[in-house]
Amino acid sequence: MTTNRVHRVLYRGLPRTGKFAAALAIMALVGAFGAGSGVAGNADPSSCTVSTATSQPFLSFGDQDSYFLAPGGSFEGSPGKALNGWSTTGRVAISKNNESYYVGSSSDSQSLFMAAGSSATTPPICVAIDTPALRVFVQSNGASNSSLQVVLNYTDKNGNPQSATVASLSGGTSWSLSPHVRFLSNIAPIVGGQGQTSVSFSFVPVGGANWQIDDLYIDPIKSQGSDGWGGWGGCC
């Protein structure tokens, strides 16, 4: 997906004031893509390793899938280390406000704050054809006409950086768990015979709200989803 296409996706359905806020977000997003897309797939895709350290963090939500924690996805640690490898634009900071379910650890105490018009991009994450989805906790200040865009950054088969919006998340003043954010249809054409590739994800507030995210997990199991989508057949 080209940057122009991302513009169209983020603008769709927004009032004029929302479009202005979205324009600010896009400016931040382009800066994030400059860092995120550049590292997403330049390394040899066959050399990356999908994490095997999985857990079942969302059992209390009826989700029996196994996940691995994205790099820095708990946002724990000292301010200088909690965002190690992440790239940000605008006003982004570690917040002393953990998601209220403490799925990572009862001792966790931090999350990621993103002001309106900012963006945050993960370090490179190795994903495979059987790594189809992510879930993350979200919270906003409740402003209307606001959403949190999840953007997949990757390198296509021709070596060109690409970005595709894979979700538009809603949220309120209480912490909530996102639905499964599917991206298998995006990575399937690029993994090919290598079976895996390196990507990154950008989180972009659109509209007037400030947002927080916490506990970002990737699902590496394509065929055992508790929601019955069953991998290839029901994804995306």
Mean pLDDT over 135-159 rounds to 91
pLDDT, residue 93, reads 96
Whether residue 228 is contained in a domain is answered as no
Mean pLDDT of the chain, nearest integer: 78
> Judging by beta carbons within 10 Å of its beta carbon (0-12, 13-18, 19+), is residue 167 exposed, middle or buried?
buried
CATH of the domain at 173: 2.60.120.260
Number of domains in the chain: 1
Q: Provide the token pair at 118.
A: 């900012």
| Confidence grade of residue 42 (pLDDT, cut at 50, 70, 90) | very low
Chain position carrying tokens 């970002």:
216
Q: Is residue 155 in some structural domain? A: yes
What pairs with residue 125 in β-bridges?
Answer: 199
Question: Residue 232: inside a domain, yes or no?
Answer: no
More confident residue, 225 or 171: 171
β-strands 196-206, 92-95: how paired?
Answer: unpaired
Convert the pLDDT of each residue in 81-100 to its tens digit: 999 999 999 999 999 999 99
Report the share of the chain in percent with pLDDT over 90.
Answer: 54
If pLDDT is split at 50, 70 and 90, which confidence band does 45 have? low
Cβ atoms of 121 and 88 within 8 Å: the answer is yes
The C-alpha atoms of residue 37 and residue 18 are separated, in whole angstroms, by 26
Task: Give domain status of residue 231, yes or no.
Answer: no
- Domain-located, residue 158: yes
* In a domain? residue 53: yes
Of residues 227 and 45, the one with the higher pLDDT is 45
Under 8 Å CB-to-CB from 30, ≥6 apart: which residues? 3
Query: b/e per residue, 221-236, with b = 16+ CB within 10 A?
Result: bbeebeeebeeeeebe
Per-residue confidence at 6, pLDDT binned at 50, 70, 90? very low
**Cα(188)–Cα(172) distance, rounded to whole angstroms?**
33
Helix 16-40 vs helix 3-11: crossing angle, to nearest 10: 140
Give the whole-angstrom CA distance, residue 85 versus residue 124: 8
Q: Which residue segment(s) compose the domain that 55 sits in?
A: 3-222
The answer to the question of residue 33 being in a domain is: yes
CA distance 45 to 150: 22
Does the pLDDT value for residue 232 go beyond 50?
no
Q: Provide the token pair at 77.
A: 């640690």
Percent of the chain with pLDDT over 70: 72
In this prediction, residues 51-58 reach a mean pLDDT of 89
Query: Apex CA 149: angle with CA 186 and CA 49, to 5°?
Result: 45
